[in-house]
Each structure stands twice: as structure tokens, then as C-alpha cells.
Structure 1
Amino acid sequence: MELSPRSIAFILILFISYFFCFGVAVDCGGKNVSYIITVGRSDKVTFRTIQVAIDSIKSNNDQWVKIHIKAGLYIEKVHIPLEKPCIILEGEGSQTTIISFSDHSSFKQGTSQSGTFISSSSNVIASDITFKNSYNIDDKGSNQILPAVAATIYGDKSFFFRCSFVGYQDTLFDVGGRHYFKDSYIQGEVDFIFGNGQSYYENCLINAIGRNRKLPGFVTAQSRDSSNDPGGFVFEGGSVIGNGEVNLGRAWRAYSRVIFHNTNFSSIVTPQGWNAASYGGQENKFTYAEVDCKGPGADTSKRVPWTKKLSSSQMKEFSLASFINKDSWLDNLPTISQ
């Protein structure tokens, strides 16, 4: 069978991720920040671009380094390479610190590489920043709609706080590893949270922009591919809003897993809620669940019959502590300013 560019990219990503996971663990020196780099447009900064600031950090870094990014619009692609863990990107507010670029997938370039922000390393923190891919957003319909990623996240132990991810198709490529998104904003319409991260989304605002009024969109396309795979997306609290219609998810792999708990659904959520995509007949392998959700879109009476009913004891497996923080890595991160 011929592989699509997305499938080829995903295989390469898994190889890279597994390679790094078997490497030496890094604790980044606990909660201490070794030094701070400042990026901005004024004369009183260390660097004027974010990528040059990242490039200045030594390879195999084992102490937290903070890059403080002053308010402004940064038109650049930003990559944290595999060999540079322990980096903090700190903005001055997601409304004012914006990293934006216009790029898309092509025959020569896979979906993941279209990302405005690509984080390959483990132990990465970002706060108060917008990551935007403007390809399908600012062109006013002049370009063909193509996968255009705002952020591609490979590395284990990645934390995003008060960040925004803005795109249309394939906004957030949540590739693999343990990721924590808190108090963040994610915008798109087609598969706009996708991949196989072992990820926890707490109090996030999910905005389905609904540009195509003829076809409902998809919030998630989760790609867990075996019953032993730890991957999955857990949404705790937060809201799904927007216009048009949107499904909560469709399967990218046979054991796709997405759970919404205590989330508010606006009326844009379709009655069926979920889609098997190309895995019709294997729906018993999926874990799609809505637990204690509320709002006009939370009526499950017309949902597809293969959604899961999870008990309170089963839900404990998908708590923050159990799902991504068994080794307490979140408790040992440097304090983020409020």
C-alpha cells in the first residue's frame, strides 16, 4: 500500500521519538533557572529573533534556560532541536507575543515540517505565547486548503501554559510523549488536534471556526495504534465552541483514544459526535468517552453506539496524576509567573 506523506512523516516521527526516549534522562537541575535570554525589538535585548536565541544554547544542555520573548509579532519558524532540552519560552501574553509563519505540507515536505513551531526535545515549557500558521487563515480563500501546522510537539515532558494555537487544518500536531496543555486556546476546523501524544488538556478553550458550512469539522484525529499504547487525549474541563458543526473526533489509527470530562459543549457538536473514518468495523477498539459533560451539545442520546461508558474507577486512570504525572515531573518544574 502506498503511504501518504502524513503516514511517512508519522513513521519518521515515531522513530525519532523512540530513539530519544531511550536516551539518558535529564532532570534539568530541578526548579532552578540557570540563566535568562531576552528576545525583542529594542536595543536592550540579547537577541532579536527567537531561533537565534535557541541556537545560542549549548547542545546537551542539562539546566533550565529561560528565553523571555517580549511582546511583538515574530514572523519566523522556530525549532527546538532534539539535543537541546531544558528550554523555557516565556512570552508576555498570548495576545501580544505572537510567533507566526505561513507554510503548508507538500510533496517534498510532510505535514509536521510545516509547523511554525517544532519542538523536538524533551523538557520544554512555553507560556503566554501564540503559535500561528497563517497559511489557511489570512489568505481570504485564495489558496487551496492544505495541512498547515501551528505547532508540532515531539518531546516527552512538555508543558504549555496560557498558550494559543491558531490554524485551520492540522493546527496542533501532538505527536507523542507526555504533554500538558493548561488554560490554553486551540483553533481550527479539520483534525486540528491530532497525533498520538499522551496528553492532558486542562481548562482549554477549543474553537472550531466552521468555515466550511457544508461539512462538519473534527476536533481530534487521534492515532493510538495498539491496546498497549499509552497515547490518548484527555480533556478536563474547558469548552468546545465555534460556529458551523464539528465532530469531537475521528479515528486516525485503530485504537484511537479521546476522553472529555466535565467539558462544556456548545450546540456546534454534531448529534453523532464521533466518526470511525477508515476503521469502520473496528469501533470496539476505540476509546471515545464523554463523562459529566454539559451544555447544549452534550446530549448523548443520538451519539454513535460505540462510545464508551467509563465508571468513576476507570476515570481515575485518566486523571492528571495517573495519566501523565506518575513520576511527578510536573511537580518539579520551575515556577511560571502568574
Structure 2
Amino acid sequence: MTVRAPDFRVQRLAIENSFDYVGNLAAPRFEPIGPNGAQAVALMLDDGADRCLFEDVDLIGHQDTLFADVGRSLFRNCRISGSVDFIFGGGNALFEDCDLHSRFRPGKDRQGYVAVPSTAASQVYGLTFARCRLTRDPQIPDSSVALGRAWRPGRTFADGKYGDPDAVGAAVYLSCWMDAHIDAKGWDAMGYTARDGKRVMLEPELARLFEHDSRGPGAHDSPTRRQLDARQPGLYTRDRVLSGWQPAL
């Protein structure tokens, strides 16, 4: 499903991309889509989308389940499931009281990545998770899923195509409960093509990736998991994050 209009609202609905991701891992037989042919978006917020509300919605996929790329959106009491980069994009998306469920990938040491923002440097808010629960399939081992990684998508410029230097991903977890599948390291690096054509890694500390008041067995006290300072959580109220948009709930 692709949304290209403002004031779109969905309640009590399941949106699924049922591509056989696990079967394709075992026996690839599909045309390439993305770097490994396994991308299967269930919901995309594209150009024109803004003030989009999703309440009690089940988003189901594996790789790249939710592509929140533009505009303001609120996901409330939703369940979003996937494995690789399953919540990603450059939009301003607020998730309240949602379940972020990691799905099992057979034969993979790194089972997946939850939040993968490509937020523009001029944009204050990216992917904001408030009071969410990070859960997992029972087969997923402890410490095998990253909170996320920052994405620098390729753009075409006058001097060539390379990773957009303006993409400085922003993601924050606020008072979220995390199961033990979340790695103590927290965030991973992500590769992109530099201006000179070389493949380089965007390290987590070069983006805006933070936590506050994380809870549960996956909430580790680690130097690689940056925390908001005491004053910053107050900047993440619904009114501030959504720039004054007041959804009719």
C-alpha cells in the first residue's frame, strides 16, 4: 500500500506483504529488487503524505516492512513486524504504545535491525518510539538484533550518484521495553557509496540515535548506546514531534 495524500487514516486493519522471504533465503529465484532481491514493503508513505494516522493496525512483512519516507505520521497501538530494516525512511513518524516485533531469519547471525532512519539534517525529528515494546519470534537468539542503523540513501547529483550527505538519521526510543534479543551494542554501522565511489560505513555516532529510560532485559547500560540528557525528553511530546498537528483519536 502506497499513500500519496494528506490526512489518510486507517483503523483496525492488517496490511501485509506476504513475499516468501524465508523461502527466498533458502532458494533465491526472484528478480533483483534492492541489494539482495528480498525487499518487500507493506506500507509506504510517499510524496504528498502528511498527517497520516494509523491506529490498531497490524503491519506485516520481513525486509523493509514500513517505509515512512515523508510527512508527519502517528502510529498508535500498532504491531509492526519484520526483520531487516523493517521501520525505515526519512519521514517524521511517531510510534506510541506499539509492538515492534522481530521475525526469525534462518542462518543469520545478525537477525535484523529495527529502526533505520534517513532523516534530513534540517529535520529535527525522525523515527520516534514512545512506550513501545520490542519483541521477537521465539527462535531469535539473545543479542542478535540491533536497535537500528542510520541509512544514507543514494541520490543523483550534478557530479554523480552517491550517498546523500544530508541524510543524518534521527531515531529515539523513549521508555520502551526491550526483550533480550536486543544487542548490548545497540546500533550498527551501515554502508553507503561515497562521493569518490568508494564503499564506506556510516557509523552510529555520526547520526542522531538515542534512548531514554529503556527497560527490560535488552536495555543495557553501554557506552555505545547514547542517552538523552535530563532536559531532552521534554522535547519529544506529541505536539512538538508532530509540529502542532493534533490527530483526532
Taking structure 2 as the reference length, the TM-score comes to 0.78
Q: 1:22-61 alignment to 2 at 5 Å?
A: none
1:318 shift after superposition: 1.6
Contact 2:177–2:215 under 8 Å retained in 1 = yes
Please name the residue that 1:149 is paired with: 41
What is the match of residue 208 of structure 2?
287
1:126 aligns with 2:10: yes
2:160 corresponds to: none
The structure number with the bigger radius of gyration is: 1
Counterpart CA distance in 2 for 1:204 and 1:310 is: 21
- Answering whether residue 88 of structure 2 is matched by residue 194 of structure 1, we say yes
Change in 2 beyond 3 A, CA 1:225/1:276: farther
**Corresponding letter in the other structure for 1:152:** M
Where do 5+ consecutive residues of structure 2 fail to align?
30-36, 153-166, 192-199
* Alignment length (residue pairs): 211
Per mean C-alpha deviation after superposition, the further-off stretch among 182-191 and 240-249 is 240-249
Q: State the alpha-carbon separation in 2 of the partners of residues 309 and 126 from structure 1.
A: 33
SS in structure 1 at match of 2:236: coil
Do structure 1's residue 300 and structure 2's residue 221 form an aligned pair?
yes
Structure 1 contact 136–143 (Cα < 8 Å) conserved = no
After superposition, the Cα gap between the structure-2 partners of 1:282 and 1:191, relative to the gap in structure 1 and judged at 3 Å, is closer
In structure 1, the residue corresponding to 2:190 is in which secondary structure? coil
Pick the aligned partner of 1:250 from 130, 137, 149: 149
**Corresponding letter in the other structure for 2:81:** Q
For residues 206 and 283 of structure 1, do their structure 2 counterparts lie closer, same or farther at Cα, with a shift above 3 Å needed?
closer
- Cα distance, 1:230 vs. partner? 3.4
Query: Aligned partners of 2:71, 2:124: CA distance in 1, in Å?
Result: 9
Taking the TM superposition and a 5 Å limit, the aligned residue runs for 1:200-211 are: 200-211=94-105
Distance 1:285 1:128, change over 3 A: same
Secondary structure class of the residue paired with 2:149:
strand
Per the alignment, residue 55 of structure 1 pairs with none
Cα pair 1:316 1:322 within 8 Å, conserved: no
How far apart, CA to CA, are the structure 2 residues paired with 1:290 and 1:166?
A: 25
* 1:322 counterpart residue number: 240
1:262 maps to 2:161: no
- Structure 2 match to 1:162: 56
CA shift digits 1:264-302 (9 cap, x unpaired) = 00000011110121364765441111111110000123x
The answer to whether structure 1 residue 219 and structure 2 residue 114 are counterparts is: yes
Contact 2:150 2:190 in 1 (8 A): yes
> In the aligned structure 1, how far is the partner of 2:114 from the partner of 2:209?
13
1:227-279 deviation digits (Å, cap 9, x = unpaired)? x2234111001211112321011110341111001100000001111012136
**Partner SS, residue 124 of structure 2:** coil
For 2:43 and 2:204, how far apart are their aligned partners in 1?
A: 29
- Per chain length, whose mean CA-contact separation is higher, i.e. which structure has more relative contact order (CA < 8 Å, sep 6+)? 2
Higher strand share: 2
Q: Which residue does 2:32 correspond to in 1?
A: none
Determine if contact 1:151/1:173 at 8 Å carries over to the other structure.
yes
- Quote the Cα distance in structure 2 between the aligned partners of 1:143 and 1:276: 26
> Deviations along 1:171-198, whole A, 9 cap, x unmatched?
0001111000000001111000010110
Structure 1 gap segments, 5+ residues each? 1-116
Task: Answer yes or no: is the 8 Å Cα contact 1:152–1:175 preserved in 2.
Answer: yes
Report the alpha carbon displacement of residue 310 of structure 1 after superposing the two structures with TM: 1.4
Which has the larger displacement, 157-166 or 236-245?
Answer: 236-245
2:134 partner SS: strand
The runs of at least 4 consecutive aligned structure 1 residues that moved more than 4 Å come to: 137-145, 279-284
- Amino acid in the other structure paired with 1:286: A
Call closer, same or farther: CA 1:162–1:146 in 2, change over 3 Å: same
Verify the 8 A CA contact 1:180 1:201 in the aligned structure 2. Answer: yes
The alignment yields a C-alpha RMSD, in angstroms, of: 2.1
The 1-side partners of 2:70 and 2:227 are apart by 26
Q: For 1:153 and 1:225, locate their aligned partners in 2 and report how far apart those are by CA, in whole Å.
A: 16
Q: Is the contact made by 2:150 and 2:202 (CA closer than 8 Å) also made in structure 1?
A: no
Amino acid at match of 2:90: N
Shift of the 146–138 alpha-carbon distance from structure 1 to 2, 3 Å rule, reads closer
